[in-house]
Amino acid sequence: MTDQTPVNRPASPLAADQVNSWRALPDASGHFGQFGGRYVAETLMPLILDLEKEYRKAQDDPAFWSEFDSLMKDFVGRPSPLYYAPRMTEHWREKAPAGKGPKIYFKREELNHTGAHKINNCIGQILLAMRMGKTKIIAETGAGQHGVATATVAARFGLPCTIFMGATDVERQKPNVFRMKLLGAEVVPVTSGAMTLKDAMNDALRHWVANVHDTFYIIGTAAGPHPYPELVRDFQSIIGKETREQMLEKEGRLPDRLVAAVGGGSNAIGLFHPFLDDPDVKMTGIEAGGHGVDTDKHAASLTGGKPGILHGNKTYLLQNEDGQITEAHSISAGLDYPGLGPEHSWLHESGRVDYVPITDGEALEAFQLCCALEGIIPALESAHALAALPQLTAGMDEEQLLVVNVSGRGDKDIFTVAEALDVEL
C-alpha cells in the first residue's frame, strides 16, 4: 500500500488513518493496486467520469444519505437481523475437536425486500441516476435477482427499465422473468455467446453505449469500470456496518471471522469492508467450485484464473492463454460468472482475505442442512458460504464468533435443488 490519494467518502471512525488502511482504495484513478480501473470504450468514458463526479458530490451530501437510509429502513426493511444460529452452532461443535466450534451468527440479508442484498445497491444507484437527470434504467441479470431488485426500484421511482438476461437464463428462471414483467420491466433475452450472465452484461454495455445521453446502467455487483466497484461496495457496506453494531450489542466485541460467498462479490465486500482495518477479524470469501476446480466446470476465478481485462475492469478472470474468456459453471446462477470484483482480487493478492472454493455438491448439502437445522431456506449462493463451516469451525474455539452472510433466500432455487436431488415436483 503506497502512494494513495485519500478518497472522499462519508466519514467513518477509521478514515483518519488512511495511510495504513485497507479501506483507502481505490486510488484517484480507480485502481485497487493493479486491479480495477476504467477499461471502457471511449464513448462511455465521459459518462463514467460524470458518474464519478456526481458520486463524489452525493458522498458529501447529507440529504442523499438521509434519503438512502430512509428507503433502507421503510422500503427495504433494514436493519436485517444478526441472528444467533443455535442448532447450526451445536451441529458443528459436536463434529469439532473438544473445545472447538465457534458461535455461528447469520446476517440475514435474505429478509430484505426482494429477498437478497441486491436491493441495497439498487436503491443507491437509482438515487444517483435521478441526481444525474437520467430517465431510463438498464441492468443485466443472471438468475434474475438483480433484475428483480432493479425492476423494483425502477417501479418505486417510476422510471422505465430494461433488463438484459441471457436467453438460457430466461428459460431457467421463468418465475423471476415474470416478476420483472409484473414490476413493469422489459426483459430482453440475450442470444449471444453462451446466453448467460456474461453475455447479458455485454449486451447491456452495447445498449448503454448507444443510449448514454439518457440511460443509467445499474450494475449488479461490485465490478465494472470505476467508480462502480467503489459505489456498489459503499452501498452494500451497510451490511458490515450493521453487523458491527449488532455484534457489539450482542456480544460486546467484534466477530472473529466473517464468511460470504463471492460471485461478483458485492455481498462479501459489503460485509467485509467495514472490518478490513480490524486486524483480529479474519475473513473468508467462498468461490463457486462447480464440479471441482480441477475440472473445466467451475466459477472460481481466483483459484483457477489469472488477471485480465473484461467488462471495464482488471481483475482475476477465467481465461485461456490467449486471453479468451472461458465459460464459468456453478449450480448457483448468481455465482456463474468468469470474473469477480477488482477489490477482491486485490484483497486476495495482498492476503487480507482468504478465498476458498466450494463445490456444487457441498453447497447442496449445506443448503439442506440449513433448512433442516435453522428453518431457513438459503439461496444457493449463500449455501456456498454455509458449506465452508465444517472447515472453518473445526479450528475455532467455542467462545469465538463467526458470521455467515445469508445473502439471499432460496425460494428461487427450489427447482434447481429439486432437479439436482432427482426430485420431481
Partner 1 sequence: MTTRFDNAFAKGPALVTFITGGDGDTAANLDALVAGGADVIELGMPFTDPMADGDAIQQANIRALGKGTRTKDIFDLATGFRQRHPDVPLVLMGYANTMIARGANWFAAECAKAGVDGVICVDIPPEEDAELGPALRGAGISLIRLATPTTDASRLPAVLEGSSGFLYYVSVAGITGTQTAAQTSIEDAVARLKAASDIPVAVGFGVRTPEQASAIAKVADGVVVGSAFVDLVKEHGDKAAGPLRELTQALAEAVHSAR
Contact residue for partner 1 among 7, 27, 39, 256 (CB under 8 A): 39
* Interface region with partner 1, contact rule CB under 8 A, candidates 10-18, 38-46, 67-75, 137-145: 38-46
406 DSSP β-pair partners: 108
Selected from 56, 131, 136, 206, the binder of partner 1 by CB under 8 A is 206
Question: Would you call 330 a catalytic residue per the annotation?
Answer: no
- Cell (9 digits) for 52: 464519478
Question: Which residue's CB is nearer to partner 1, number 210 or number 421?
Answer: 210
> Closest Cα partner for 116 from 421, 406, 423, 420?
406
Q: Is 46 in the site for partner 1 (CB under 8 A)?
A: yes
Number of H helices, E strands in the chain: 17, 14
Three-state DSSP at 114 gives helix
Q: Is 134 near partner 1 (CB under 8 A)?
A: no
Cα distance between residue 347 and residue 343, in whole Å? 6
Candidates 61-69, 199-207, 355-363, 412-420; binding stretch for partner 1 (CB under 8 A): 199-207
Q: Toward partner 1, which CB reaches closer, 102 or 142?
A: 142
Report the nearest approach of partner 1 to the CB of residue 390 (Å).
36
Maximum distance among all alpha carbons in the chain? Answer: 63
Q: Identify whether 136 is a catalytic site residue.
A: no
Give the nearest distance from C-beta 210 to partner 1 in angstroms: 4
Should residue 28 be labelled a site residue for partner 1 when binding is judged by CB under 8 A? Answer: no
Q: Which stretch binds partner 1 (CB under 8 A): 68-76, 147-155, 273-281, 323-331?
A: 323-331
Query: Is 390 a residue that touches partner 1 (CB under 8 A)?
Result: no
DSSP conformation class of 80: P
The amino acid sitting at 120 is N
CB of 412 closer than 8 Å to CB of 143: yes
User: What is the spatial distance between Cα 341 and Cα 220, in angstroms, rounded to a whole number?
Assistant: 11
For CA atoms 249, 251, 256, 260, give the dihedral sign: negative
245 tagged catalytic: no
Shortest spacing between CB 156 and partner 1, in angstroms: 29
Selected binder of partner 1 within 41, 182, 418, 423 (CB under 8 A): 41
User: Terminal CA-to-CA distance of the chain, rounded, Å?
Assistant: 53
Q: State the nearest-atom distance from the C-beta of 65 to partner 1, in Å.
A: 28
Q: State how beta strands 35-39 and 82-84 pair.
A: unpaired
Q: Which amino acid is at 16?
A: A
**Near partner 1 in 277-316, by CB under 8 A:** 308-312, 314
**Catalytic-labelled residue, pool 140, 242, 287, 362:** 140
With contacts defined by CB under 8 A, how many residues of the chain interact with partner 1?
A: 37
Given a contact cutoff of 8 angstroms between Cβ atoms, the answer to whether 203 and 164 are in contact is yes
Q: How many CB atoms lie within 10 A of CB 1?
A: 13
Interface residues toward partner 1, by CB under 8 A:
29, 37-47, 192-193, 198-199, 202, 205-206, 209-213, 308-312, 314, 317, 319, 321-325
- Please give the positions annotated as active site: 118, 140, 407
